[in-house]
Amino acid sequence: MTISQVKQTAKESLRGNWGIAIGIFVLAWLISGVLSFIPFIGWIALFLLTGPLYVGVSWVYLAISRREQPEVAYMFSGFKEFGRTFLAYLLISIFIFLWSLLLIVPGIIKTYSYSQTFFILRDNPNISALDAITESRHMMNGHKGRLFGLSLTFLLWYLIPIAVGIVGSVIVFGGMASVSYTSDPTELISALAAGATFGGFVLMLVAGLISLGISLYVYPYLITSVAVFYDDLYAASEGIYVEETVIVEEEVDPFAQTEQDPFANDTHPEGFGPETTKEPETPKDENEPK
């Protein structure tokens, strides 16, 4: 499937399911946000729960892409297989971090290599976390560029809030740089600098709100599109495997049956075949009365 076909299929799958698609995104975001504000205990809980939580969220979008009707509770299904889902998320995070130490680009490449791991865990209940990562890496051979192109079409939505945030940051740093220390210790910053700094913070806040609003639409759309991409990739790999298997069987099968019996018109050699069952004729005695 082309990128436009993948996105069109995802959009059709989301029709009538936008409520649950946005709802689970907001709920997962709130859970992560609340835990991150709780010192120590919240951070430990966030470390333990993030993997299974977001695996379950990806399973919901996979179900939506397959025209199923998942419930909100399905986003917590990753906790039923806590060992596999937690370990998969942890290993992916470690691997991407280590590859990113080389440079940013290897980390990005490996992110796309491991992108199908959570879906593989859903479709293969008996596969281990490490094997799912390995299978994802094999599936994505030759397809990372396509998935990058797909994700890039969604990242373009964030150009406006990024631009607004950059402008706000520049204004804030410019206002802070204009701090003037005068003889009066109570007057540390001019009114103009204060106004510029406040305006910069407002722009940064607006950029954050715009990004959040865009994410309500883009995140469900993106993950559903990746799920469609996964199903298309899996179907294509299965078709290639079946075709190769049939070809191999045809080449190596020397005993293929034909419609005509090859021995139908053959004369069987002595000791073999139907002729061995025929009783020999006894010679006639010439003196025997007729």
Tell me the whole-structure pTM to 2 decimals: 0.74
Beta-carbon count within 10 A of 129 CB? 22
Q: What is the pLDDT of residue 179?
A: 54
Note the pLDDT tens digit of each residue in 64-121. 999 998 899 999 999 999 999 999 999 999 999 999 998 888 899 999 999 999 999 9
Which residues of the chain are modeled with pLDDT < 70?
A: 175-193, 238-290
The residues spanned by each domain of the chain are 3-250
Nearest to 89 by CA among 118, 116, 60: 118
pLDDT recorded at residue 62:
96
| Contact indicator for 89, 54 with CB cutoff of 8 Å | yes
- pLDDT attached to residue 188: 52
Yes or no: say if 208 and 173 are a contact pair by the CB < 8 Å rule.
no
